[in-house]
């Protein structure tokens, strides 16, 4: 088990380095001086010279990368052109807001979609299965930005049950924060339920066709025991892996939901920085989200043996 964990963690290091190299190159391919790009129009000659010195612009590209990576490891992502604030604390503050939307949505949709997916597989090609798969396909086909606007229209404007747009932090008012987060969480929940349900159904169908399930049924075990004690753990593995990908993708795409509900999260910070050509923040957001994506998938892999101990033996 320890060997499996160490091997998997060691495998994440080259991926993180490749992510760093890609983000470094991405900003370097923009024509012009990277220091001028990083300072924007606001920088004077002295500030420009200081930044050129700090980034080692006169050195070779690999040396520049090592200097940049060194600063990064010390938590130094530079300062924002637009606000003058250090990049990393800004990103962390916005990330904590996005997490409040993304994580509850993924947890809720998993809790609802996995049993539904297993039920659909158990009732394959029966009415319940057809109804669930059709609903899942329909939900998957509705873009989150439209779903969010429809929910706003219904629960915010027509019924007046929930606030329309905005954000209140939990430190200001717990009830207010929860109220403002219900609709964005529910929007993501509806979309992800469809995706997870289809995956849970497909992996359960694979497992239900295996000999050990036939054997469990032949022993006379009740269906509930067959499904939960025997099928669930093996069927949940692929869905568990999918959850890591969904979490990462949602963090990258959360800008859409944050735009609909005017939430000042990490996605909105990235999009606003693209408009403002605030390259230090763009670079910081890309690195941060991609780094979280790699780490979330690492955690998913490390916890995978809970559902399928065979992976540690391989």
Partner 1 sequence: MRPVAPNLVIGLALTGLVGAMALLGAFWTPYDPLAMNFASRLAPPSWSYWLGTDEFGRDQLSRLMLGASASVKISILTVILAISSGTIIGIVSGFLRGWPDRIIMSLNDALLAFPGLLFALGLLAVLGANENGIILSLGLVYMSSVVRVVRGTVLSLREREFVEASYVMGNSLSFTMRRHILPNCIAPLTVLATSMCGWTLLAESALSFLGLGVAPPMPTWGNMLAGSRSFLDQAVWLVIFPGLTISLALLGINLLGDALRDRLDPRMRRRVG
Q: Of 67-75, 111-119, 143-151, 225-233, which part binds partner 1 (CB under 8 A)?
A: 143-151
Residues 216, 231 contacting (CB under 8 angstroms): no
The torsion angles phi and psi of 209, rounded to 5 degrees, stand at -85, -5
> 55, 108, 112, 142: which one contacts partner 1 (CB under 8 A)?
142
Q: What residues numbered 5-64 form the site for partner 1, per CB under 8 A? A: 15, 18-19, 21-23, 26-27, 29-30
Report helix, strand or coil for 86.
strand
Residues 105, 194 contacting (CB under 8 angstroms): no
Count H helices and E strands in the chain, helices first.
14, 0
**Shortest Å, Cβ 281 to partner 1:** 10
**Shortest Å, Cβ 150 to partner 1:** 7
CA distances, 233 to each of 75, 118, 132, 200, 238 (Å): 40, 11, 22, 11, 10
Strand partners, 79: 86
Nearer to partner 1, 173 or 214 (CB): 214
- Kindly state whether residue 116 participates in binding partner 1, applying the rule CB under 8 A: no
Q: What residues numbered 158-217 form the site for partner 1, per CB under 8 A? A: 205, 209
Strand partners, 288: none
Q: Is 68 exposed, middle or buried (0-12, 13-18, 19+ CB in 10 A)?
A: buried
Q: What residues numbered 272-301 form the site for partner 1, per CB under 8 A? A: 273-275, 277, 279, 282, 286, 289-290, 293-294
> 82, 99, 213, 252: which one contacts partner 1 (CB under 8 A)?
252
Give CA–CA dist 236/249, Å, rounded: 20
**Shortest Å, Cβ 18 to partner 1:** 4
Give CA–CA dist 77/23, Å, rounded: 12
- Kindly state whether residue 125 participates in binding partner 1, applying the rule CB under 8 A: no
Binding mask 62-101 for partner 1 (x = CB under 8 A): ----------------------------------------
Nearer to partner 1, 108 or 274 (CB): 274
The torsion angles phi and psi of 86, rounded to 5 degrees, stand at -60, 145
Query: Which parts of this chain interact with partner 1 (CB under 8 A)?
Result: 15, 18-19, 21-23, 26-27, 29-30, 137-138, 140-143, 145-146, 149-150, 152-153, 157, 205, 209, 248-249, 251-253, 255-256, 259-260, 270-271, 273-275, 277, 279, 282, 286, 289-290, 293-294
């Amino acid at each position: 088990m320890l060997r499996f964990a160490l091997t998997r963690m060691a495998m994440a290091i080259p991926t993180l380095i490749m992510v760093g190299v890609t983000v470094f190159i991405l900003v370097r391919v923009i024509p012009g001086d990277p220091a001028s790009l990083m300072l924007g129009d606001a920088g004077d000659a002295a500030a420009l010279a200081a930044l050129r010195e700090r980034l080692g612009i006169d050195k070779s590209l690999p040396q520049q990368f090592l200097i940049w990576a060194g600063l990064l490891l010390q938590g130094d992502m530079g300062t924002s052109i637009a606000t003058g604030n250090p990049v990393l604390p800004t990103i962390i503050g916005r990330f904590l807001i996005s997490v409040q939307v993304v994580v509850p949505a993924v947890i809720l949709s998993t809790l609802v979609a996995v049993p539904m997916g297993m039920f659909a597989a158990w009732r394959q090609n029966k009415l319940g299965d057809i109804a669930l798969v059709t609903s899942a396909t329909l939900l998957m086909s509705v873009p989150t930005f439209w779903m969010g606007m429809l929910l706003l229209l219904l629960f915010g404007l027509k019924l007046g049950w929930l606030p329309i747009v905005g954000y209140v932090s939990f430190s200001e008012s717990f009830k207010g924060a929860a109220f403002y987060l219900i609709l964005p969480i529910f929007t993501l929940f509806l979309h992800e339920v469809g995706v997870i349900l289809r995956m849970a159904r497909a992996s359960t169908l694979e497992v239900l066709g295996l000999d050990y399930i036939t054997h469990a049924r032949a022993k006379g075990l009740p269906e509930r025991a067959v499904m939960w004690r025997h099928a669930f753990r093996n069927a949940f593995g692929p869905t568990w892996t999918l959850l890591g990908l969904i979490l990462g993708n949602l963090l990258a795409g959360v800008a859409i939901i944050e735009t609909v509900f005017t939430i000042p999260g990490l996605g909105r910070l990235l999009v606003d920085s693209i408009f403002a050509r605030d390259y230090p923040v763009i670079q910081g957001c890309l690195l941060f989200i991609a780094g979280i994506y790699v780490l979330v998938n690492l955690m998913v892999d490390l916890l995978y043996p809970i559902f399928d101990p065979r992976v540690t033996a391989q």
